[in-house]
A and B are shown apart, each in its own frame.
Chain A
Amino acid sequence: MNMLIYLIPVALFLGALGLGAFLWSLRSGQYEDLDGAAWRILSDDNKPDDPRGH
């Protein structure tokens, strides 16, 4: 049962990582224009774009 001491924190950490990633993507405005993003992936000019504006 000693392995639980590592495994549970590891599991929680990975979960928290996912949660953190979601909260980050939410804050950086990636959910603000879902319809637009679906079209933009098809557009040819590949310049990187920051959805937050400046």
Chain B
Amino acid sequence: MSCCAPGTEGALDLLGALPSTEELLLSARDLGNGMKQTDLGVPDVYCGACIATIEKALGAMPAVEKARVNLSTKRVSVLWHESVDGETTDPVEIVRTIVTSTGYSAHLFNDAEEAADALKSQLLRGVAVCGFAAANIMLLSVSVWSGADASTRDMFHWISAMIAAPALIYGGRFFYQSAWNVIRRGRTNMDVPIALAITLSYGVSLWETMHHGHHAWFDATVSLLFFLLIGRTLDHIMRERARASISGLARLSPRGAMVLGADDVREYRPVSDIRPGDRIAIAAGERIPVDGIVESGASDLDVSIVNGESAPHPVTKGASVQAGMLSLTGSLVLQATAAARDSFLSEIMSLMEAAEGSRAGYRRLADRVAQFYSPAVHLLAITAFLSWGLLGGDWKQAMLISIAVLIITCPCALGLAVPVVQVVAAGRLFRNGIMVKDGSAMERLAEVEMIVFDKTGTLTVGRPRLLNGGEIDASHLSMAAGLAAHSRHPLSQTLYTRHTGSVPFFEGVEERPGEGLQGFSGGRTYRLGSRRFACDQNSAGASASSEVVLSVDGAELAAFRFEDRARSGAEAAMRELLSKNMSTAILSGDRAAVVERLAKRLSIDAWQSDLSPRGKTDAVSAFAEGGRKVMMVGDGINDAPALRAAHVSMAPATAADIGRQAADFVFMHESLAAVPFAHEMSRRAGTLIRQNFGLAIGYNVIAVPIALAGYATPLIAAVAMSTSSLIVVANALRLNHVRAGERAVAQDAELEISPGARTA
């Protein structure tokens, strides 16, 4: 990855359209006094130099009062004046400054996901309060264990009780709420024995204190809560970080559109306010917000995100278009045929709801363990109570022993066993540019036996590559680049960036959507476009690769052939998956010839082409019915139902919003090495979780007989509990020292600097 080098202004054109002024004003928060605040996502910042570059560049603008980069959430918060010296500020300038100073893209994100993370603060405060209480009570308990007696011991117990009570209410409420929720529905989870254990042990300890007893369990109660809250907080932070990073990514659906009123009055409206029948103006480079019919104008549409087809689609008056398509070459006026919520997306949504794959029935490992663990623990405690009561006759003693059993068996280590491992694993993945939505995704990925890929945008980068660059005369290439500079069409962009050096100047260049470009130089007509347009021929040869012809006065000069470029690391990733006996397949909406060639190059045997969204979902379900756990990797809107139907799914950061939301993993770097790396990490995390369960259960096997026999004192409980928790955490941290696969991801990230160094 390139660092935030200044002087990358040229990147501006390649990074695509900036948000419009209207969009930015719509999303800015009004702070009063003529001040506004805009929050922008900058997903590529990653070092201190980026912070300094962005803050300095923004700080130099007169309209900007203050700018601050948050590196963890990859966001910039900008405070700006609505007007400076009577001049109204255009917020687009802020975005442009960020883009030109760093070469990184900056964009708005959905405000619906901006809700402050109140739960994280609550959990952290709970951890702090319980930590404080646990430390102080432990201090007093150590004094009791080392020989304080009679009135001193009673006083210490009373102080402990007073410290523990607020901590239990403040820190324990998360567990009480969760336990109450499942009990009400007649089920049980890990929180039920936890809530029961802390309540009972506190009650009994209080009773003991009142009756000048020798043993009180306040220390065990509170330190138990402390450890469990740490596990709960880690779990939450991991999900939160993934959520924040994903919502900070480029937003592909437009926020609003220019609606033409009755007298051609232009009005910018949020997408949700567009009604069927409205006329919408779409400029070149804009995405279509709702389904509609072209009323006037012509353009080439990039439909890859909608149906996976890699070649742009020419449209003219009367053609129907779908939400999510990108107008490349011309401007259009559309008549909306559906509101945003009823557009093409809604069809996908209903497919997604119907796609109930194996994941719906998946229960997290911890829950599956809890299913057996909590009844067993309760049974054990009741048995201890009854047998000591009936056989010994001392019911108070029996009560104390059953409490000791509950405390000793309380799933302290179990509560930490899963979240600690998953947080460490997610941290490793995060550092390699892979986001995990939640812990269960890693558990599911570890089980996967087959990986299914989408083609356009997933196995390929969705950008064309010039195939026969070596055969083309340099002067022809520079002429073609001179014409191509005037177009946004992906093939033109490729030609233009491929050429280095000066380009000849053409007069009166015009772009004809669906055909190509035409310009004049030295009295001759130059054309660049389809063979039919450039050479005035009627024959249209169906070729697997796209072709662009350069002609002068109708005579062919050169033919450029293009093909979509495979993602870097694709072949290495396939080899690695193959070496792990993972079967692979391609499911694509593109034409058979294109799919077949890519499948051959990546040595993937199974492929299917021309698939509709439903076809992809059905194919995934068919694999799953064959008894295999399938992982789907895809990016388009058309992949979303299949992503949902698969056992686990992954999407690149460039995917459509809906695809990213459906996926469990999102990878930020270009390299496909992320796929085998995520699988490897998930597998190792799964192994460590099982080891941790083994350790926790092994500890119980030793500790429970001691408790049943009545030898467990608060001291033994405290030592045993802390030791088992520490061992589990230490075991989880071993994951940080596994070196597998990381190098591949890092190397490919470096290669992105020099695409020329990589040969297919």
A residues contacting B by CB (< 8 A) are 1, 4, 8, 11-12, 15-16, 18-19, 22-23, 26-27, 31-36, 39-40, 42-43, 49, 51, 53-54
The answer to whether B73 and A11 have CB atoms under 8 Å apart is no
CB pairs A–B below 8 angstroms (12 shown): A8-B140, A15-B136, A19-B131, A19-B132, A26-B125, A35-B72, A36-B69, A36-B71, A43-B48, A43-B52, A49-B68, A53-B37
* CB pair A15 B51 closer than 8 Å: no
Q: Which residue of A lies closest to B155 (CB)?
A: A4
B129 lies within 8 A of chain A by Cβ: yes
Across the two chains, which residue of chain A brings its CB closest to B50?
Answer: A39
B738: interface (CB < 8 Å): no
- Is B71 a contact of A22 with CB atoms below 8 Å? no
- Given A18-B132, A19-B132, A26-B125, is A54 in contact with B68 using a C-beta cutoff of 8 Å? no
CA A7 – CA B121 in complex, angstroms? 32
* Bound: A18/B129 CA distance, A: 10
Inter-subunit contact B125/A51 (CB<8 Å) = no
Q: Are A54 and B48 in contact (CB under 8 A)?
A: no
Whether B72 lies near A53 (C-beta < 8 A) is: no
Partner of A34, one of B48, B72, B79: B72
Q: Complex Cα distance A51/B121, Å?
A: 16
Q: How large is the interface on B (under 10, 10 to 19, 20 to 34, 35 or more residues)?
A: 20 to 34
Chain B residues within an 8 Å CB radius of A8: 140, 159
Interchain pairs with CB closer than 8 A, number: 62
Q: Interface digits, B161-173 against A, CB 8 Å rule (1 contact, 0 not)? A: 0010000000000
CB distance from A4 to the nearest CB of B (A): 7
Mostly, the A contact residues are: helix
- The CA-CA distance from A6 to B140 in the complex, in Å, is 14
Which of A16, A19, A49 counts the most chain B CB atoms within 10 A? A19
On whether A33 and B128 interact (CB within 8 A), knowing A11-B136, A26-B121, the answer reads: no
Taken together as a complex, chains A and B put the C-alpha atoms of A8 and B160 apart, in Å, by 11
- CA A49 – CA B66 in complex, angstroms? 10
Residues of B138-168 whose CB lies within 8 A of A: 139-140, 152, 155, 159, 163
Q: Which of B37, B71, B139 has the most CB of A within 10 A?
A: B71
A54 CA to B33 CA, complexed, in Å: 13
Residue of B nearest to A44 (CB): B52
Contacts of B152 in A (CB 8 A): 1, 4
Is B687 among interface residues, defined by CB-CB distance under 8 A? no
Q: What residues of chain B lie closer than 8 Å to A54, measured between beta carbons?
A: 31, 66, 79
List A contacts of B540 (CB < 8 A): none
Residue in B70, B131, B163 whose beta carbon sits within 8 Å of that of A36 in the complex: B70
Q: How far is the CA of A34 from the CA of B72 in the complex (A)?
A: 7
Q: Within 8 Å CB of B71, what residues of A? A: 33, 35-36, 39
B residues near A27, Cβ cutoff 8 Å: 121
Q: How far is A39 from B37 in the complex, measured between Cα atoms in Å?
A: 24
Interface contact B129-A19, CB-CB below 8 Å: yes
